[in-house]
Amino acid sequence: MLRKLRITLAVVSIVALTLLFLDFTGTAQSWWGWLAKIQFVPALLSLNVAAVVVLVLLTLLLGRVYCSVICPLGMLQDIISRVRGLMGKKARRLNRFGYSNPKKWIRLSFLGVFLLLIALGLMPLASLIEPYSEYGRIVSSVVSPEYDAVNNMLAGVAESMDSYMFYRVETYVNPAVSVIAALTLVVVGIFAWMSGRGYCNTVCPVGTILGYISRFSWLKPVIDTSKCTKCTKCARNCKASCIDIKSQRIDYSRCVACMDCIENCSAGAISYTSRKDMSKGQDCRIDGSRRNFLAVGAMVAAATAVKAADKTTDGGLAQIIDKKKPQRATRIVPPGAVSLAHIEHHCTSCQLCITACPNGVLRPSTELSTFMQPVVEYERGYCRPECVRCSDVCPAGAFHPITVEEKSSIQIGHAVVRLDACLMAAEGKRCGNCSRHCPVGAITLAPVNPDDKSSRWMPVVNEERCIGCGACENLCPVRPLSAIYVEGHEVHRKI
**Tens digits of residue pLDDT in 19-63:** 999 998 888 988 999 999 999 999 999 989 999 999 999 999 999
Residues 6+ apart with CB under 8 A from 121: 341, 344, 345
pLDDT reported for residue 316: 44
Instruction: Provide the pLDDT for residue 302.
Output: 60
115 pLDDT tier (thresholds 50, 70, 90): very high
Residue ranges of alpha helices (H) inside 33-143 are 34-37, 40-45, 49-62, 65, 72-85, 90-93, 104-119, 123-126, 131-138
d(CA 349, CA 46): 14
Q: Domains for the chain: give ranges and CATH numbers.
A: 2-280 (no CATH), 311-494 (3.30.70.20)
- Does residue 295 carry a pLDDT above 90? no
Q: Per residue in 328-350, pLDDT tens?
A: 999 999 999 999 999 999 999 99
CA neighbor of 353 nearest in space, from 339, 365, 369: 365
The verdict on whether omega for the bond into residue 480 sits within 30 degrees of 0, i.e. cis, is yes
Contact call for residues 250 and 214 (beta carbons, < 8 A):
no
The pLDDT of residue 283 is: 44
Coil, strand, or helix at residue 126?
Answer: helix
Q: Which of 254, 253, 229 is nearest to 241 (CA)?
A: 254
Q: φ, ψ for residue 272 (rounded to 5)?
A: -95, 105
Q: Mean pLDDT over residues 480-489, rounded? A: 96
Decide if 78 contacts 239 (C-beta within 8 A). yes
Sign of CA dihedral 242, 42, 191, 298: negative
Cα angle: 437, vertex 358, 183; to 5 degrees: 135
Instruction: Find out whether 382 and 469 touch, Cβ atoms under 8 Å.
Output: yes
Mean pLDDT of the region 405-418: 96
Whether residue 429 is predicted with pLDDT greater than 50 in this model: the reply is yes
DSSP 455: P
Please state the pTM of the whole predicted model: 0.84
- Calpha distance 121→128 (Å, rounded): 14
* Helix locations, 226-367, DSSP H: 233-236, 260-264, 290-307, 340-346, 352-356
What stretches of 203-328 show up as alpha helix (H) in DSSP?
205-214, 233-236, 260-264, 290-307
Which of 143, 134, 131, 139 minimizes the C-alpha distance to 39? 131
Q: List, for residues 205-223, the tens digit of each pLDDT value.
A: 999 999 999 999 999 999 9
Determine what percent of the chain falls in helix, strand and coil, rounding each to the nearest 5. Answer: 45, 10, 40
Q: What is the pLDDT of residues 66-105, one digit of tens each?
A: 999 999 999 999 999 999 988 866 655 667 899 999 999 9
Chain CA centroid to CA 124, Å:
11
Give pLDDT tens digits for 237-292.
999 999 999 999 999 999 999 999 999 999 999 999 986 665 454 444 444 445 55
> 144-160 and 2-22 are packed helices; what angle lies between their axes, rounded to 10 degrees?
70
How many CA atoms, within 13 angstroms, populate the side-chain half-sphere of residue 244? 15
Determine contact, residues 262/272, Cβ cutoff 8 Å: yes
Q: Give residue 30's identity as a one-letter amino acid code.
A: S
CB 347 within 8 A of CB 438: no
